[in-house]
Structure 1
Amino acid sequence: MTTSLIALSMKKQEKDIILQEKNVMIHEKDSMIQEKYNMIHEKDTIAYEKDVIIQVKDKEIQKV
């Protein structure tokens, strides 16, 4: 009987390890998605800054 309890305990540990590994993978995917979002946000910010610079240059040209 103790052998079957040990076997059940080992199976539970294996399942717990698999769940932990899945959680780590999900966390890594979430981190990758967050990094992609940050990159998109940075690109948007750069595009906005370039647009502002163009607007300033246009105003300077209009003054001349």
Structure 2
Amino acid sequence: MDVDLIFKIAAIGIIVAVLNQVLIRSGREEQAMLTTLAGLIVVLTIIIQEISDLFHVVKSVFGL
């Protein structure tokens, strides 16, 4: 696991948290929920890509 991946996920989390608080305080709870959901989808996409790369490496190491 690369440290850049952790920083990227943390940055997305901080940005989503700030946007969420700003939108909630301005009375836009629906947009805040959609922002949180979009951030979750982005992070899950990044994690799925990393897991896919891990499986490709494991397959190449064991010659499967």
Unpaired runs of 5+ residues, structure 1, are 46-64
- Relative to the length of structure 1, the TM-score reads 0.56
Larger RCO: 1 or 2 (CA < 8 Å, sep 6+): 2
Q: Which has the larger radius of gyration?
A: 1
- Tell me how large the CA RMSD over aligned residues is: 1.7
- Relative to the length of structure 2, the TM-score reads 0.56
Percent identity over the alignment is 8
Unpaired runs of 5+ residues, structure 2, are 1-25
List structure 1 segments (4+ residues) > 4 angstroms apart after TM superposition: none
Task: Indicate the structure with greater helix content.
Answer: 1
Aligned length: 39
TM-superposed CA distance for 1:10, in Å, is 0.2
